[in-house]
A and B are shown apart, each in its own frame.
Chain A
Amino acid sequence: MFGYYLDMALRSLKRNRVLTGLMVLALALGIGASMTTLTVFASLSADPLPEKSSQLFYVQVDPYPKNEPFSRSGKLPWLMSYIDAMNLLHAGRAERQAAMALSKVKLTPENAQQRPFFSDGVMTTADFFGMFDVPFQYGSGWSAGDDEARAKVVVIAGLLNDRLFGGANSVGRILRIGDQAFRIIGVLRPWAPQPHFYSLYLGGRDYGAGDAVFLPLQSARAIGQMPINLFSYAAGDKQKLETAPSTWLGFWVQLPNTEAASAYRSFLGDYVRQQVALGRFQRSDAGLSSLMQWLRDQKVVPDNVRVQMGMAFSFLLICIVNTVGLLLAKCLRRSAEISVRRALGASRAAIFMQFMVEASLVGMAGGLLGLVFAELGLWCIRRQPAEYASLAQLDVRMFVSTFAVALVASLIAGILPAWRACAMAPAPQLKSA
């Protein structure tokens, strides 16, 4: 029976080639536009560490005085002071924990032909690599002991290794940072979680290429590396970041399950209350947000991407309304044909099916053409110099959902005409014909 509907649908579509073409084109434009923006949105709001994100939490405490709050709407400060970060780090109550800040790092290649240059650096503590599952090509990260001893060791990204050492195993070699010699102990495989969840508010980019140099926090501070972002009260605080109430560190913990998370939450509450008792804090609020929650709360996806997506979907909606209208007009014109079929014994369900098959054919053709438009749109976006441009790739999931969207759209568009067609009383139509 389905084959027969298909045949009927094809015949009917062929009878009005121009109109069918226009219906498909309109639907394809709507689908192409919405799939392009949806792909960009999905890749921007994707989980940066799908295997691990449920175990990672961002910690916030509030060292600001009550009468001079960080924000008027009661938001917690984005970053943490050195004192609090070290207290929480040394308490070691999570499975893993690390504090981090970004810093511009001046590198001087050994090779005299290469000129010194600045690179994106991360100052952090030992657990960073294990906690974020950072993959190593050669060597490994440093230990908590190295942190305490302010060891002059460094981990570099694969890209930097290619640039400086031609991609060879550079573990054990020396890298000049500022005017100090650091020993390379690890080389990473390409690693750039999108978005760069760990450096929101630390002053880096949210998307794009990853950071190049990873230094132990205390060692980097010992050679005078400054964090890019720094919130401080007084001008002189910049000179004593370790003791001043300035906030400049991001603090992440790994908590393997909900019990651990609730245990850490109560530990954090105790810590904050203790600080209030000591007079360091005046507010006893603390924040423990899971990775995805943190990204959502901080609205990491750019607003104009959201506006574009809204635009594209209203466009699709209008295209669907348009298709409904055209299909309806077509179906009303065929009342004589429908009446003949009904008189010859076709059930209402059969007529309904026939029209739905016709609508879905339009939808599938629209989806196919829409895919071409979506690829075209994504190609345009990739050519833009935005940080996230390279993320605009159509993957299998999006490929499949394009057809799902097309089919659903056309079926929605088909329901009304099909219902009108099958609800028609055959007798008067036959008479007038």
Chain B
Amino acid sequence: MSMHPMLSSLRHHKLTVFLLILQVALTCAVVCNVVFLVVDRIQQIALPSGLDEPMLSIIESQSIDKKQNQLARHDADLAALRAIPGVKMAVAADSLPFGDQESSYGTCATLEQLEQAAKLRSMQTNGCVQPAAYAGTPGELNTLGIHLVAGRDFRDDEYVDDDKVPAAILSAELAQKLFPAGNALGNTIYTGERKPIRVVGIVQTLVRPRLYAFGTNQLTMLFPSKSADSYIFYVLRSAPADRQRVLKAAAAKLMQLDPDRILPPEQMQTFEDLRRAYFQRDRTMVGLLVASCAGLLFVTALGISGLANFWVQQRRRQIGVRRAIGATRSEILRHFLLENFVIVSAGILVGVVLAVVLNLLLMKQYEVPRLPWFYLPAGALVLWSLGQLAVLAPAMRASAVPPVVATRSA
């Protein structure tokens, strides 16, 4: 079938064709970028923490008695918590993944690098990073279910009650960053204390308490340090079905042991609740973006099929003539489908350029990452199918026009 009749008929509707191309182009640009934003957010929401999440519950205790020996308090609390039926393990920790509060330390692979970084007041120099450190009581690794890939857990004699730790366990990503040669285990790292810290273990995944930028979310380490802070998280490990009961029992037990403390009800939750709360905003954003994307595609489909409908009605006579001189139904159908394909393709061509421009703009303004190339053909595919679907009904109607129309006067 030749393209000629179709192209010449399009030439008669320059303005409407132009508008349709414009609409498809804008839709293509916006949809590509929005879907990219949505996928980016969803990846964040589903980010693995490295913890055995379904087994964990958290309770935060804020002591208000300043004179109390917090270390002794935490030990007594933990002993009582471990005695609760259903609690398999319990530890005290100063911070948790998605817990929002983090302690981070400028950390370097050698002392010289640390001195250089201190002089420049920046951890952006070679061999230095700013990882988050988790301090916790013995057994933290097992209780949280963090998977050790090399080395060992801390020995009891390595634990201290400040940040002058002798040993550390690094996340695989941090180990790679500090020791690109892969020799992290057994090596030493340096923080602001300027004392060597031996790397005794490496864990596969452990995410920061607070996500910043892509590429830094896994920069974490564990310290064998008992927190003497009056604010502390108790992490309880139990069977998933026991979590609510265990939490309630734990709160009652803690208040009974020492009433001079605050247990904020919003910080008494399962780990899954903590994660849900942390990503609440992102989920809202995803919902809004998906809704607007669906709206956009809907409106575009509406425009395509509305215009096609008009064209069919307007050209009833011409269609009848073509049928009368021998065009088959399927040729008429194909004419309209092909016409739509040409228009949408032109729109996509412009739209791809617009999508890249829009992405560059977003990158400049809002630290959005670069749009991966495969979003463009994917977006094109979606718009092609949308166009074909939208035009199908009018095209069917066109193919149903009987040849006899040609003989009637308009």
Contacts A325-B20, A384-B284 given; indicate if A317 touches B314 (C-beta within 8 A). Answer: no
> How many Å lie between the Cα of A381 and that of B300 in the bound state?
26
Whether, in the assembled complex, A173 has its beta carbon less than 8 Å from a beta carbon of chain B, the answer is no
Contacts A30-B299, A319-B299, A321-B19 given; indicate if A330 touches B280 (C-beta within 8 A). Answer: no
Whether, in the assembled complex, B285 has its beta carbon less than 8 Å from a beta carbon of chain A, the answer is yes
Picked from A26, A317, A325, A326, the residue with its CB within 8 Å of the CB of B26 is A317
> How many Å lie between the Cα of A420 and that of B18 in the bound state?
15
Which B279-320 residues sit within 8 Å CB-CB of chain A?
280-281, 284-285, 288-289, 292, 295-296, 298-300, 302-303, 306-307, 309-311, 313-314
Contacts A312-B292, A314-B30 given; indicate if A22 touches B306 (C-beta within 8 A). Answer: yes
Tell me the minimal C-beta distance from A32 to chain B in angstroms: 9
Whether, in the assembled complex, A109 has its beta carbon less than 8 Å from a beta carbon of chain B, the answer is no
**Structural contact, A322 and B292, CB atoms closer than 8 A:** no
Tell me the minimal C-beta distance from A77 to chain B in angstroms: 13
Which A295-314 residues sit within 8 Å CB-CB of chain B?
303-304, 306-308, 311-312, 314
Which A67-101 residues sit within 8 Å CB-CB of chain B?
68
- Contact indicator per residue, chain A 311-346, by CB within 8 Å of chain B (1) or not (0): 110110111011011101110110000000000000
Which A125-177 residues sit within 8 Å CB-CB of chain B?
none
A433: chain B residues within 8 A (beta carbon): 410
Closest to A384 in B: B284
B262: chain A residues within 8 A (beta carbon): 115-118
**Structural contact, A106 and B64, CB atoms closer than 8 A:** yes
**Structural contact, B281 and A386, CB atoms closer than 8 A:** yes
Whether, in the assembled complex, B37 has its beta carbon less than 8 Å from a beta carbon of chain A, the answer is yes
Tell me the minimal C-beta distance from B30 to chain A in angstroms: 5
A328: chain B residues within 8 A (beta carbon): 15-16, 19
A312: chain B residues within 8 A (beta carbon): 292
Picked from B296, B302, B310, the residue with its CB within 8 Å of the CB of A330 is B310
**Structural contact, A333 and B30, CB atoms closer than 8 A:** no
**Structural contact, A325 and B303, CB atoms closer than 8 A:** yes
A303: chain B residues within 8 A (beta carbon): 365-366
Whether, in the assembled complex, B69 has its beta carbon less than 8 Å from a beta carbon of chain A, the answer is no
* Interface size of A as a range: 35 or more
Whether, in the assembled complex, A19 has its beta carbon less than 8 Å from a beta carbon of chain B, the answer is yes
**Structural contact, A325 and B292, CB atoms closer than 8 A:** no
A56: chain B residues within 8 A (beta carbon): none
Whether, in the assembled complex, A29 has its beta carbon less than 8 Å from a beta carbon of chain B, the answer is yes
Contacts A118-B262, A385-B280, A420-B15 given; indicate if A318 touches B296 (C-beta within 8 A). Answer: yes
**Structural contact, A318 and B23, CB atoms closer than 8 A:** yes
Whether, in the assembled complex, A415 has its beta carbon less than 8 Å from a beta carbon of chain B, the answer is no
Whether, in the assembled complex, B126 has its beta carbon less than 8 Å from a beta carbon of chain A, the answer is no
> How many Å lie between the Cα of A319 and that of B30 in the bound state?
13
Picked from A26, A329, A420, the residue with its CB within 8 Å of the CB of B307 is A329
Picked from B19, B285, B314, the residue with its CB within 8 Å of the CB of A324 is B19
**Structural contact, B285 and A326, CB atoms closer than 8 A:** no
Whether, in the assembled complex, B27 has its beta carbon less than 8 Å from a beta carbon of chain A, the answer is yes
**Structural contact, A26 and B314, CB atoms closer than 8 A:** no
B309: chain A residues within 8 A (beta carbon): 19
Whether, in the assembled complex, B121 has its beta carbon less than 8 Å from a beta carbon of chain A, the answer is yes
Whether, in the assembled complex, B244 has its beta carbon less than 8 Å from a beta carbon of chain A, the answer is no
Contacts A326-B303, A329-B307, A433-B410 given; indicate if A318 touches B27 (C-beta within 8 A). Answer: yes
Closest to A64 in B: B121
Picked from B15, B30, B280, the residue with its CB within 8 Å of the CB of A318 is B30
A318: chain B residues within 8 A (beta carbon): 23, 26-27, 30, 296, 299-300
* Interface size of B as a range: 35 or more
> How many Å lie between the Cα of A329 and that of B18 in the bound state?
12
Whether, in the assembled complex, A33 has its beta carbon less than 8 Å from a beta carbon of chain B, the answer is yes
Query: Which of B20, B34, B284, B306 has most chain A Cβ within 10 Å?
Result: B306
- Contact indicator per residue, chain B 259-271, by CB within 8 Å of chain A (1) or not (0): 0001000000000
Whether, in the assembled complex, A416 has its beta carbon less than 8 Å from a beta carbon of chain B, the answer is yes
> How many Å lie between the Cα of A324 and that of B306 in the bound state?
12
B296: chain A residues within 8 A (beta carbon): 315, 318
**Structural contact, B27 and A22, CB atoms closer than 8 A:** no
- Contact indicator per residue, chain B 326-348, by CB within 8 Å of chain A (1) or not (0): 00000000000000000000000
Contacts A116-B262, A311-B34, A324-B19 given; indicate if A333 touches B299 (C-beta within 8 A). Answer: no
- Contact indicator per residue, chain A 48-75, by CB within 8 Å of chain B (1) or not (0): 0000000000000000000010000000
Picked from A30, A68, A416, the residue with its CB within 8 Å of the CB of B15 is A416
**Structural contact, B34 and A329, CB atoms closer than 8 A:** no
**Structural contact, B23 and A304, CB atoms closer than 8 A:** no
Whether, in the assembled complex, B62 has its beta carbon less than 8 Å from a beta carbon of chain A, the answer is yes
Tell me the minimal C-beta distance from B93 to chain A in angstroms: 20
B365: chain A residues within 8 A (beta carbon): 303, 306
> How many Å lie between the Cα of A306 and that of B37 in the bound state?
14
B284: chain A residues within 8 A (beta carbon): 381, 384, 386
Whether, in the assembled complex, B400 has its beta carbon less than 8 Å from a beta carbon of chain A, the answer is no
Picked from B121, B288, B311, the residue with its CB within 8 Å of the CB of A68 is B121
Picked from A116, A117, A315, A381, the residue with its CB within 8 Å of the CB of B295 is A315
Which B54-106 residues sit within 8 Å CB-CB of chain A?
62, 64
* Residue ranges of A at the interface with B (Cβ–Cβ < 8 Å): 19, 22-23, 25-26, 29-30, 33, 68, 106, 115-118, 303-304, 306-308, 311-312, 314-315, 317-319, 321-322, 324-326, 328-330, 332-333, 381, 384-386, 416, 420, 432-433
The 7 A-B pairs at the shortest CB distance, nearest first, are namely A329-B310, A322-B303, A325-B19, A26-B299, A321-B23, A318-B26, A326-B306
* Residue ranges of B at the interface with A (Cβ–Cβ < 8 Å): 15-16, 19-20, 22-23, 26-27, 30, 34, 37, 62, 64, 121, 262, 277, 280-281, 284-285, 288-289, 292, 295-296, 298-300, 302-303, 306-307, 309-311, 313-314, 362, 365-366, 410
